[in-house]
Amino acid sequence: MKAYVYHGKHDARIEDIPIPRANPGEVVIKVSLACICRTDIHILEGKFPVNPGIVLGHEVMGVIHEIGNGIKGFEIGDRVVVPCDTACGVCFDCVRGPDGMGCTVDGSVNRGFLIGCLRNGAQAEYMAVPYAQANLCKVPDSLTDKQVVLTGDIITTGLSGAETGNVSLGDVVAVFGLGPVGIIASLGAKLRGASLVVGIEPTLYRAEMAKRMGGVDIVIDPKKQNVEEALRDLTRGRMVDVSIEAVGKEETFVAALTVIKAGGVLSNLGNHGFEGSYSIPLKAFLGGIGDKKIVSTEAPGGNDRMRRLLLMMEHRGIDFSPLVTHTVNLDEIKKGYEIFGEQKDNVIKVAVKP
């Protein structure tokens, strides 16, 4: 099969490698659609440690091709979605934590983030799914591949920003960065009852997409306005209850901390990488005595989480497919990385179709 294989910093190539086999507890899927994620860009930039020889990609849906021993309830030909965090579902941390977000069965700090990181991922014609019983979820016939492909990563991640931030009825929420995760985070805030959602985004087409999707009420361009002053005016001095950081940069992290009120929450979704360090200004943190909370989330997984998200799409008519603005063939994947990485042609998300 063809696959996009990582070989080191700024080096990945389309290669022919063997089609994987389904080991016990695994399922092999024929990839219907995959996506390129900002984390893939971080890997190629050397900001996220991955061993050479790994097939990249962790946003995926497909059709079951082979079923390993020990898997029940699935058949060859089933359409399935795969969460990017394929936690084992049975270790101590999985059993006690939400959606497997603590799995250490692989002996690392990846907490279930295996595919496209510790083992071969989705930017290929076929992919083996580890711990399939705990993670695979059948896709309803009423939902298209394009609607579903984002479920296992940016949909579950974006919505979790509001969940972990505990957005409550009537809250004012500021979302820093209206990329795909930020746009979905704004929708999550609305779903949880936020009265006002303000997006912080300098790129016009992303601001327009966020408004089109219905999650954002007002957009502030940080290149044209002072964000703190603008939010102070909008909230009559109260500032925001919850801010969601969906960029992964120190300046947005500090800004998100600065604009929450005493007792507010900064919900971090941005991937900040593993290099360097941040300093938290004590004034923004109210000297440590302002009851400000900093929480973080990474792509809650598990088959029940996937099931719930698909039910929400199916029965509430929430359509995330407009976020997939570009599609490339696997042979054209370098072009897709260029478009997505350099934010060309009004891109939001790039899908890869084997």
pLDDT digits (tens, 9 = 90+) for 327-347: 999 999 999 999 999 999 999
Residues 80 and 74: beta-carbon distance below 8 Å: yes
Kindly list the distances between the CA atom of residue 8 and the CA atoms of 17, 57, 286, in Å, as whole numbers in the listed order. 18, 15, 42
pLDDT digits (tens, 9 = 90+) for 258-305: 999 999 999 999 888 777 788 888 888 888 889 999 999 878 889 999
Residues 82 and 115: beta-carbon distance below 8 Å: yes
- Alpha-helix residue ranges (DSSP H) falling in the chain: 38-44, 92-96, 132-135, 145-148, 156-164, 180-191, 204-213, 227-234, 250-258, 303-316, 333-341
**Which DSSP state fits 85?**
B
CA angle 135-314-134, nearest 5°?
10
Structure tokens at 203: 């790129």
Cα–Cα distance measured from residue 227 to residue 208, given in angstroms and rounded to the nearest whole number: 18
- Domain 157-296, CATH class in plain words: alpha beta
Q: What is the pLDDT of residue 272?
A: 80
pLDDT digits (tens, 9 = 90+) for 30-67: 999 999 999 999 899 988 889 999 999 999 999 999 99
Q: What is the pLDDT of residue 277?
A: 83
Structure tokens at 2: 């063809």
Q: Residue 246 pLDDT > 60, yes or no?
A: yes
Q: Under DSSP, is residue 151 helix (H, G, I), strand (E, B) or coil?
A: helix
Residue by residue, DSSP assigns 34-90 as EEE-HHHHHHHTTSS---TTPBP--EEEEEEEEE-TT--S--TT-EEEE-SB---SS
The reply to whether 2-150+320-353 and 157-296 are identical in fold is no
- Mean of pLDDT over the chain: 93
Cα–Cα distance measured from residue 259 to residue 290, given in angstroms and rounded to the nearest whole number: 12
The residue whose two tokens read 């601001």 is: 207
For the chain, which residues make up each domain, given as ranges?
2-150+320-353, 157-296
Q: What is the pLDDT of residue 107?
A: 58
Q: Residue 100 pLDDT > 60, yes or no?
A: no
pLDDT digits (tens, 9 = 90+) for 107-133: 555 567 889 999 999 999 999 999 999
Q: Is the pTM of this model over 0.95?
A: no
Q: Under DSSP, is residue 233 helix (H, G, I), strand (E, B) or coil?
A: helix
> Which secondary-structure segment (H or E) carries 302?
none
- Domain 2-150+320-353, CATH class in plain words: alpha beta
Cα–Cα distance measured from residue 63 to residue 75, given in angstroms and rounded to the nearest whole number: 10
Q: What is the pLDDT of residue 105?
A: 73
Q: Which long-range contacts (CB under 8 A, 24 or more apart) does 90-98 make?
A: 90/134, 94/134, 98/300
Residues 186-196 have a mean pLDDT of: 97
Q: What is the pLDDT of residue 97?
A: 67
**What phi and psi, each to the nearest 5 degrees, are found at residue 27?**
-135, 140
**Which DSSP state fits 278?**
-
